[in-house]
Structure 1
Amino acid sequence: MNAPERLFAPPAALDRAVFAARRRALADIVGTEGAVIVPANREQPRNRDVHFPFRQDSDFWYLTGFPEPDAIAVFLPGREAGELVLFVRPRDPEREIWDGRRHGTEGAREHFGADEAHTLDAFDAQLPGLLAGRRNVHVQLGDRPELDARITACVQRMREMSRRGPAAPEALLGLDASLHELRLIKSAAEVAHMRFAARVSAAAHIAAMRAVAPGVQEWQLAAEIHAVLARHDMEPGYGSIVAAGANACVLHYVENRAEVGTDDLVLIDAGGEYHGYTADITRTFPAGGRYGAEQAAVYDIVLAAQQAAIDTVRAGTPVADMHEAATRVLTQGMVDLGWLSGDVDGLIEQGEQRRYFMHGTGHWLGMDVHDVGRYRVDGDSRPFAAGMVTTVEPGLYVPPDDERVDARWRGIGIRIEDDVLVTDGEPDVLTGDVPKTREAVEALIASARG
């Protein structure tokens, strides 16, 4: 039997040099007075004796490339004995028979660039010596309360002993202004991974569009998406949304168990993750092959709003302009359709548009589908900069029981979403391979039906 072929060649893998370069960049931000502590993810039980598939913590992976659970990275810029210290699970021949080989302390040094490595049980004893003389500790408090308690207890003990030993850290700082700012700006290698994830995810959406027909189940369309991803060594970057008819008015609908009706629109919000980097695409298309008159009217407004928002994704433009551009087009559209009445500026000021457009227009994208990075700096909307990647995803949703609008609009939910790379020139739409004009969508479905 021949194995299914990939549609696209994957990018070059990230090697040790990439992770080392990230640590050098982080050192420039944190300085020699700082220390960074980042834990790996833990395995999560699914049911008895079974765990969910393991996915590494994004911060930990970004800094180390180490793939195992239950590890802790301590990064100490400028430390003469070595900057990266990893605490990892010990080798365990018996567990390795069941769960696979562990790298252990030796592997952490040889394969992942750790300057020093210890088993996890040494963390509490080693930490005071590692933090001695460091003024600040950068750690994302609140994510791992048990680890937070160990770190704060260590710092407190060091303060109590500071008269007889090295100075204790003075402050615990979050990662938003350090590691997360680095993650926000994508390198060329990261862009290559995201472009690959976007191309494969686009092909997956096209496969679902070709498979749509009245009577299919939502989960069957999800299967079309996931099959394309699996053939490219990818998995869903988040829970796939396949919402037929009024289900599309539930923003995070994930049941995917309903049957697609003849006159339904199908909203699919799905994206694949490739080696830590995810895409995020939404398309809304007609099960019967052609948009109805009301569906078409709403769709054209959403598409126009998205196009207006994408045009703002330019270096130097405030991030807030993207949402403002989409909101203005959508609100005018709601007035034109008779859903709202009044002056557009006044309606927006009063928040009336949130009846049918209740979410933001986009979010950062990268290793996490809702990626890290601040949207405001010093109280102002930050400007876009080359290397950022954002989604652009306006939508309109009329609940099926909303009696404020005519019955012909009820149950319509439409969202259109693309992933856009900020460059020094025009916006680079990474997910542009998926048709989104009504004519192109209808032509694709018609071609699949012969």
Structure 2
Amino acid sequence: MNPFAARRARLAQQMQPGAVAVLQTAPEVLRNADSEYPYRHDSHFYYLSGFTEPQAVVVVVAARGAAPARSILFCREKNIEHETWTGFRYGPDGARSSFGFDEAYPIDELDAQMARLLADCPALWYPVGRDNAFDARVARWLGAVRAQARSGVLAPAALHDVLGVLDEMRVIKDEAELALMQRAADISGAAHARAMRAARPGMWEYEIEAELLHEFRRNGAQYPAYTPIVAAGANACILHYNSNNAQARDGDLLLIDAGCEFDSYAADITRTWPVNGRFSAPQKALYQLVLAAQQAAIEAVVPGRPYSDIHAAALRVLTQGMLELGLIDKGKYASLDDAIAERAYAPFYMHGTGHWLGLDVHDAGQYRDSAVEGKPSRALQPGMVLTVEPGIYVRPADGVPEQFWHIGIRIEDDVVVTADGCRVLTWAAPKTVDDIEALMRGAA
């Protein structure tokens, strides 16, 4: 069974007997006049179908009695004239056989077929409230079924949000997903190494961004997974900076947060390094602190431990280092725990230490266990993939040592939880001081 068919089967098993789930892909969006933005399918839809064309809907019908579960795809018909202009289409027959569906129909038949599929169906699962137009379409389907009430036909008695179930399925990656994520990580790591080799004082941020994009595409990645951040000097203290139009000066650190998307799966890597190839003493002190915090956080990625332990581990190392380096006034706090409790670190570290990663760069899934009273942080499980990305950002301020002003550092890796710990997917991107400096002077 291909992974997409297996996922559809897993979804069907979680629904009531005879229930129907329906999910549409993303629409095409005009950029200007008659030109669209580059098309990217909906991640939940792709997770179930593997189908990348627009104007498509997937339907899953749960087993009931002797009737087995089945899956149905609605998509565009074959049209040789249109294909001459815009490229290949599978058409219903081709899509059914290529993607393992039990049935497939032209998208123009969706309304009529859904009125049939929902007749005497006990429950409908769909993305409730996500799209007003789709909500209205669902209401029309239900109305068409209710119109048959005199004939004894019943409409679904319950509506459920299918995205909640799919989000939890997507949190645990299967082997097919992990292989794609490793490939995305390898390409992205090579791109970061290429940027390090190419960078020189005086280059513009966008020139270095071009090196990343070249390596992504050269290795088969379809897109960046998100808009790259290429931030020189003080720009690195802007967390989501992406103008990428400043000049990198001698003595600047360059923070690059960039990853590719390979076959729909994202990588997400951040590296920070000196444009001239050598860390200054203040830069090195802060860099080693962030690297130590990341190592402590990665060591907390163990099955059974709460997700929140990752952030807590990074915070302890960062806050202790800030106290020792004079970023935080030691005299104000009785202990390290007091400094953490009072968020003394917050002026210099104001974000979390990671997020889920997968089909989306900030992937689906809850961080708390909603099934437990108080909703504590959920326990890590094998197959979860997450980023580990502590940082430090020092802006000019009274009481802050001037030698650290305008230094922004973040180090980010992609990590999969294993049966006995974790595995770093993004090992190909250099990150120790010695490895970075050696690569930039041509010794590696």
TM over 0.5: yes
Deviation at 1:111, TM superposition (A): 2.2
Distance (Å, rounded) in 2 between the aligned partners of 1:186 and 1:97: 38
Code of the residue aligned with 1:114 in structure 2: it is F
Instruction: Report the Cα offset of residue 18 of structure 1.
Output: 2.0
RMSD after superposition: 2.1
Assess, with a 3 A threshold, how the Cα gap between structure 1 residues 128 and 257 changes in structure 2: closer, same or farther: same
Once residues 409 and 50 of structure 2 are traced to their aligned partners in structure 1, the CA distance between those partners, rounded to angstroms, is 38
The one-letter code of the counterpart of 2:117 is L
Once the two structures are TM-superposed, the CA of residue 164 in structure 1 deviates from its matched residue by 4.7
Equivalent position amino acid for 1:431 in 2: T
Identity %: 46
2:419 equivalent among 413, 417, 424: 424
Unaligned regions of 5+ residues in structure 2, if any? none
Equivalent-residue separation in structure 2 for 1:136 and 1:410 (angstroms) = 59
Decide which of 176, 183, 201 is 1:214's aligned counterpart. 201
Q: CA deviation at 1:107?
A: 2.2
| In the alignment, structure 1 residue 348 sits paired with structure 2 residue 336 | no
- Inter-partner Cα distance in structure 2 for 1:100 and 1:336: 61
Q: Distance in 1 between matches of 2:324 and 2:150?
A: 72
Does 2:28 match 1:19?
Answer: no
Q: How does 1:27-426 map to 2 (within 5 A)?
A: 27-78=12-63, 80=67, 83-155=70-142, 158=145, 162=149, 164-234=151-221, 235-341=223-329, 342=333, 343-378=335-370, 379-399=375-395, 401-426=396-421
Q: Is the deviation greater in 384-393 or in 51-60?
A: 51-60
- Aligned-partner SS, 2:441: helix
CA displacement at 1:430 relative to structure 2: 0.7
- Cα deviations by residue, 1:150-197 (Å, 9 ceiling, x for unpaired): 113433564576575333323332235422222111111211111111
Number of residue pairs the alignment of both structures matches: 433
Which residue type is aligned with residue 440 of structure 2? I
Measured in 1, the distance between the counterparts of 2:420 and 2:60 equals 36
Tell me the equivalent position of 1:436. Answer: 431
Q: Over residues 114-137 of structure 1, what are the superposed CA-to-partner deviations in whole Å (9 max), with x where a residue is unaligned?
A: 322222232223223212333332
Letter in 2 for 1:365: L
Check conservation: 2:384, 2:417, Cα contact below 8 A: yes
Q: Compute the displacement of 1:46 (Å).
A: 2.0
SS at match of 1:181: helix
Q: What is the CA–CA distance in structure 2 between the aligned matches of 1:158 and 1:350, rounded to whole Å? A: 58
Contact persistence 1:82–1:116 (CA under 8 A): no
Q: Deviations over 1:223-273 (max 9, x none)?
A: 111111112110211111111111111111111111111011000111111
Does the Cα contact within 8 Å between 2:146 and 2:153 map onto a contact in 1? no
CA contact (8 A) 1:197 1:277 kept: yes
Question: Gaps (5+ residues) in structure 1?
Answer: 1-15
TM-score by length of 2: 0.92
Distance in 2 separating the partners of 1:160 and 1:338: 73
